[in-house]
Structure 1
């Protein structure tokens, strides 16, 4: 039986090739890591060096996937990852009491300047706009997120990241760039 990075047999010990590349990309984006060795699909180890020059090997161990596993990120996971990956912050974690269940609505964040924050996540519903429609920036961000959550190529990921940046800085962008971002989002949504 032939296997590929996307079609692995159940119980395979070889990590998904795209996940290996994604982990390597995440390490390269960290301000704490100065060097990441080239990685390719099928690798089971990623080698990297931290800011102090210490070398590490990150080894993958694959476990059998949970068929009931949710395929989407939850808000608390997204908040922790976004803050933890920002260059101004050293770490972000869900609040872990000394015993008992993990708190899914409280995040602790530590900044490079030494400030520690406790952030409380509260769900609420925001009106989208007066007519009940989403904003153009939200539409652009949604199209980009859909592309990032699919099995996208490197160029598609780069396009999605650029669209996310434009959406996040919407008020600072000029009209031609906004229109171009909306056109790209419509084209992506039509696929």
Structure 2
């Protein structure tokens, strides 16, 4: 039984609509263990009100800026590490080492746990060959993209094409997606690959 779905309206899609960015920012704030309350945000609003763990209220205002066409599309490794550790529920804080004077130290990260332990983490670039037998794909995003490709093999139905398009979008924007969407995309990818 084929399901006849209407074509995607990219202008109306909340995944691609900048008016929904404030909603995404509010959702990201709700995932922080350091923020106790985040007010509702509606598409098109220009600020988000939240309260931190100490009870202090803040208003986060969005100021639109022209996108830089030459800007980076991916996070640098040190930014990704700091964000991943800082957003984990076991940690209170993660930050790049800041000296009194001079630039940020981009290879040293300070992390503090809820239990009170503090660590200095050193980031060193190195080459480590990947054994194809141990790991079929390098990243979860690659697994999601692989599942999208598998859906398009042969004569895919319209719903398989739409699912593949969505999986490819999530894989291509992996670093900008929140954890629940990543986990859902991985679950869909596992279901596709287990067929």
Shorter chain as normaliser: what TM range?
0.5 to 0.7
Deviation at 1:139, TM superposition (A): 5.3
Quickly say closer, same or farther: Cα 1:79–1:186, change in 2 above 3 A.
farther
Q: Name the SS of the counterpart of 2:48 in structure 1.
A: strand
Which residue number corresponds to residue 182 of structure 2?
160
Aligned residues: 158
Quickly say closer, same or farther: Cα 1:141–1:71, change in 2 above 3 A.
closer
Deviations 1:85-139 (A, max 9, x none): 111211111112222222211111112222221101111222211xx46714645
What are the within-5 Å matches in structure 2 for residues 26-105 of structure 1? 26-105=28-107
Q: Name the SS of the counterpart of 1:72 in structure 2.
A: coil
Deviation at 1:159, TM superposition (A): 4.9
Q: Is the 8 A contact 1:140 1:185 kept in 2?
A: no
Instruction: Name structure 2 gaps, 5 residues minimum.
Output: 1-10, 146-167
Q: Is the 8 A contact 2:141 2:171 kept in 1?
A: no
Q: Is the 8 A contact 2:107 2:124 kept in 1?
A: yes
Q: TM-score of the superposition, structure 2-length normalised?
A: 0.65
Quickly say closer, same or farther: Cα 1:134–1:74, change in 2 above 3 A.
farther
Quickly say closer, same or farther: Cα 1:40–1:93, change in 2 above 3 A.
same
Quickly say closer, same or farther: Cα 1:20–1:162, change in 2 above 3 A.
same
Which contiguous aligned blocks of 4+ residues in structure 1 show a shift greater than 6 angstroms? Answer: none
Which residue number corresponds to residue 24 of structure 2?
22
Quickly say closer, same or farther: Cα 1:29–1:149, change in 2 above 3 A.
farther
CA distance in 1, matches of 2:64, 2:54: 30
Instruction: Name structure 1 gaps, 5 residues minimum.
Output: 8-15, 167-179
Q: Name the SS of the counterpart of 1:104 in structure 2.
A: strand
Higher RCO structure (Cα 8 Å, ≥6 apart): 2
CA distance in 1, matches of 2:122, 2:45: 39
Which residue number corresponds to residue 135 of structure 1?
135
Quickly say closer, same or farther: Cα 1:50–1:97, change in 2 above 3 A.
closer
Q: TM-score of the superposition, structure 1-length normalised?
A: 0.66
Quickly say closer, same or farther: Cα 1:186–1:63, change in 2 above 3 A.
farther
